Structure 1
Amino acid sequence: MNSLRVCNVLRKTAVNSDLLLRGFATSNVLNENHKCKVLVVGGGAGGCAVAAKLSSKLGQGKVIILEPAERHYYQPMFTLIGGGIKTLADSFQPMGKVLPTLAKWLQDSAAKFEPEKNTVYTSNGDKIEYELLLVAVGVQLNYDKIPGLVEALSIPKGKVCSNYSPKYVNRTFEALQAFKAGNAIFTFPNSPVKCPGAPQKILYIAEHYLRKSKKRQNATLIYNTSLPVLFGVKHYADALWKIVKNRNINVNLRTNLIEVLPGQNKAVFQNLDKPEEKITTDYEFLHVTPPMSAPDALASCKNLVMDTGFVDVNKDTLQHSKFNNVFAIGDCSGSPNSKTAASVAAQSQVVYKNMMSVINGHTPARIFDGYASCPLVTSYNTCIMAEFDYSLTPLETFPIDQSKERYTMYLMKKDLMPPLYWHLLLNGMWNGPGFARKLMHFKF
């Protein structure tokens, strides 16, 4: 009798457990349906800045921000972290702290865009219906596209590093400190990249570090870039060519990293003008800028993007070429400007004003001139402040020749720009230096 009673109890417990588990399973598929005036997909610099402006204007709960990350990184600082000038802890704040309080934060990512239905589906299966959409998802880092690279980056205290990810950025200064002699190689991939000056910045900082640590005479510095030029704007490229010549840095144009052999400390490069020609080079230090692309979820929505996977927008208004209620900002935009945080600042006011025009039934009229700024750090105390527009014509803020290396520009990069980013740009209060430029050049 006791055995029978025990069996009945066990059987009832199993049934109740099964019902409980099924109840949890059922609750997980009851996804939410959200509706909003404006949906901002992405909580990076562009998403934050425009969401702050829009939510302040439209009021509480009218803007939803879709962003999965716990942390918001000030990515322009990664170069300084790689050079041992700043720390990773300096570069981020909690996402909840930087997003505008009047907006609603959904901590999830976009899985599917349906612009024909004014709808975005999240990775967790939620549905978001919007009146206006701002795509601000940035770019995707494709470390896995280079065979052997992820393996090389996983080796503790290894010789391979990359400033582009918070996961790897600390490796750069560690590898510089451990370097003794041999080839120090820096790469620029055959793809669009965010902050296209960053692959060179760490090159110049590393060269200065090696000089300071008395290791320069034992090092061969090599910059292998897929581009046909050292820098896209001739005014600054001319100055950079002088720097690499004076510092005895070897530059190989149209040379693309295609494989890393971590067990052998070798890197394989392809001559892009002669694809059959491959060169294998030994390294004792290898800084890799990974190939980049639009995020997969965005690139798969062919109605939203160009063949490149980036959002198909009018380069002047940043409004979508087909869907009038869709805009894009920052790195994911197909506008032909350089992908930098400074571009985002200039774009933010244009996007905000043009989105408000659509809300009010008017045609967008604000024009983005393609402004970009790239503070080219050239040592531990100098910087070239490159500023230019769509036509790659210098668009300099200060009434001086900004192609020269200056300590003042280095201080701006290191000490002024981070608080400007955290306290003004992300709060929708910084629209780039356009007004200051007019004042300094007496163009009222």
Structure 2
Amino acid sequence: MISNTTTPQSELKTHTVVIVGGGAAGISVAASIYKRDRNLDIAIIEPAGKHHYQPGWTMVGGGVFRPEVTSRPMSEVMPEFVSWYQKAVAAVDQDRNQIKLDDGSAIQYEMLVLAPGLELYWGGIEGLEAALGSNGVTSNYREGMASYTWDMVQNLKQGTALFTQPPMPIKCAGAPQKAMYLSSDYWLRHGVLKNLDIQFHNAGAVLFGVADYVPALEAYIEKYGIDVNFQSTLVSVNGPAQTAVFRSSDADGNSQDREVGFDMLHAVPPQRAPQFIRESALANENGWLDLADDTLRHKTFSNIFGLGDVSGTGNAKTAAAVRKQAPVVAENLIASLRNEPLRAAYLGYGSCPLTVENGKIVLAEFGYGGVLQPSFPKWINDGTKATRAAWFLKAKQLPALYWHGMLKGHEWLAKPAVRSTTD
């Protein structure tokens, strides 16, 4: 992955802190670092021209949000205090403390923060990418596709609706189910649910990874009459024929393929780290960024930190996780620059607002090992139950808090834990 050519030192752009990624993680951590030390020279590398509020795509697919409220020009959210390189990363040369860009140039760093997100591997399901956007095949994970999801939901009066979830890890593990519940709720309210065969095909063996929330979700599975298929992985799609092939496996490892016809298919692709991470010395054995669970510093390279969906830590890959991670990375990175002990700790917090119906949400909040970590008042998050207050938070408050709070370095309910031992 790393080019054999070396950029002459005189031509190198040099910054104290270089952040790879201008998504939720990259911009939030830049703001948190700047909040703590306004004298640091910070750069962000991000090729995209648009910044997306991806948690909103589920709501677009459920007819709650308009598509335009979920994105803004990158130039509007990129902090004024950073140097922005609108280029893609080709490789990280961690031995020379350099980032190689796709145009052949390089950037030198003293401290590096990796927050490039993950890659949606559409090619991991045969025929899926070509099928998207027609013949009832959709995915809220695809930019601009959630509107087609909403069109399909409104127009489907009878037939078979399939919802899929690939092998973990994926970003927002609850999102495949959120689409299913919001769709089912619409069909129930419009009197057509009885005419539909709704199937959930989950590559995993459980409905949700944190057992405390499963009973509430099971109640909605029963309410909507959803046929749940565990260890059933989508492997191919034939759009024109409106058929999908699922591979089922048993406890002994035996597998069998089954073809299922559909009128609507909401498919979620398998996901992986970007190539320049997964095929480098920065990755763990599973191809994700190899970080310490608590400090979010790289396990091998002490001047590299990471956060967000690329992380190989055992937390849920959600924007809420980033909200807790950014202050930890900021404090520990500055401590590292000053040769001080790393005192801030991330405890694995993640949050998944499970939209079980239009107007109610089960707000799952948990950390490493599935330990519950409620951070909102009880009137918003009543344990493991669906509440209207949580829906109001998701639909009315969180978008504004994202654009005007989190991306600006306002660390609402995000104070880092203190490590019990320091380096």
Question: How high is the TM-score relative to the length of structure 1?
Answer: 0.88
The one-letter amino acid paired with 2:328 is: V
Deviation at 1:99, TM superposition (A): 1.6
Deviation at 1:275, TM superposition (A): 4.5
Partner Cα separation in structure 1 for residue 368 and residue 247 of structure 2: 30
Is contact 1:387–1:396 with CA below 8 Å preserved after alignment? Answer: yes
**Does residue 426 of the first structure (1) align with residue 407 of the second (2)?**
yes
Deviation at 1:332, TM superposition (A): 0.3
Deviation at 1:87, TM superposition (A): 1.5
**Counterpart mapping for 1:315-354 below 5 A:** 315-354=293-332
Partner Cα separation in structure 2 for residue 32 and residue 346 of structure 1: 37
1:124 to 81, 84, 103: 103
- Residue 421 of structure 2 corresponds to none
User: After superposition, what is the alpha-carbon deviation per residue over 1:206-226, rounded to whole angstroms, capped at 9, x for unaligned?
Assistant: 001111222111101111101
- Residue 408 of structure 1 corresponds to 389
The one-letter amino acid paired with 1:208 is: D
Q: Identity percentage over the alignment?
A: 33
Stretch moving more, 35-44 or 386-395:
386-395
**Does residue 82 of the first structure (1) align with residue 67 of the second (2)?**
no
Unaligned runs of 5+ in 1: 1-30, 438-444
Look up the SS of the partner of 2:140 in the other structure: coil
Partner Cα separation in structure 2 for residue 433 and residue 38 of structure 1: 22
Question: How high is the TM-score relative to the length of structure 2?
Answer: 0.92
Partner Cα separation in structure 2 for residue 307 and residue 320 of structure 1: 14
- Residue 420 of structure 2 corresponds to none
Partner Cα separation in structure 2 for residue 122 and residue 231 of structure 1: 39
Deviation at 1:330, TM superposition (A): 0.6
Deviation at 1:307, TM superposition (A): 1.9
**Counterpart mapping for 1:242-253 below 5 A:** 242-253=219-230
Deviation at 1:120, TM superposition (A): 0.7
- Residue 200 of structure 1 corresponds to 177
Deviation at 1:37, TM superposition (A): 0.1
Partner Cα separation in structure 2 for residue 277 and residue 404 of structure 1: 37
Partner Cα separation in structure 2 for residue 406 and residue 389 of structure 1: 21
The one-letter amino acid paired with 2:405 is: L
Is contact 2:193–2:224 with CA below 8 Å preserved after alignment? Answer: no
1:382 to 355, 360, 365: 360
Deviation at 1:98, TM superposition (A): 1.0
Is contact 1:43–1:65 with CA below 8 Å preserved after alignment? Answer: yes
Is contact 1:163–1:172 with CA below 8 Å preserved after alignment? Answer: yes
User: After superposition, what is the alpha-carbon deviation per residue over 1:215-266, rounded to whole angstroms, capped at 9, x for unaligned?
Assistant: 1111011111011110011110121112212221111111100000112111
**Counterpart mapping for 1:2-401 below 5 A:** 33-59=12-38, 62-155=41-134, 158-273=135-250, 274-301=253-280, 303-397=281-375, 398-399=377-378, 401=382
Is contact 1:330–1:339 with CA below 8 Å preserved after alignment? Answer: yes
Look up the SS of the partner of 2:68 in the other structure: helix
Partner Cα separation in structure 1 for residue 130 and residue 82 of structure 2: 40
Is contact 2:293–2:346 with CA below 8 Å preserved after alignment? Answer: yes
Q: 1:423 to 1:375 in 2, by over 3 A?
A: same
Is contact 1:317–1:350 with CA below 8 Å preserved after alignment? Answer: yes
- Larger radius of gyration, structure 1 or 2? 1
Partner Cα separation in structure 1 for residue 341 and residue 287 of structure 2: 26
Partner Cα separation in structure 1 for residue 414 and residue 387 of structure 2: 19
Partner Cα separation in structure 2 for residue 76 and residue 38 of structure 1: 28
Deviation at 1:363, TM superposition (A): 2.4
Look up the SS of the partner of 2:315 in the other structure: coil
Deviation at 1:46, TM superposition (A): 1.1
Unaligned runs of 5+ in 2: 1-9, 418-423
Partner Cα separation in structure 1 for residue 24 and residue 304 of structure 2: 18
Aligned length, in residue pairs: 403
Q: Whose helix proportion is higher, 1 or 2?
A: 1
Deviation at 1:53, TM superposition (A): 2.3
Look up the SS of the partner of 2:352 in the other structure: strand
Stretch moving more, 91-100 or 53-62:
53-62
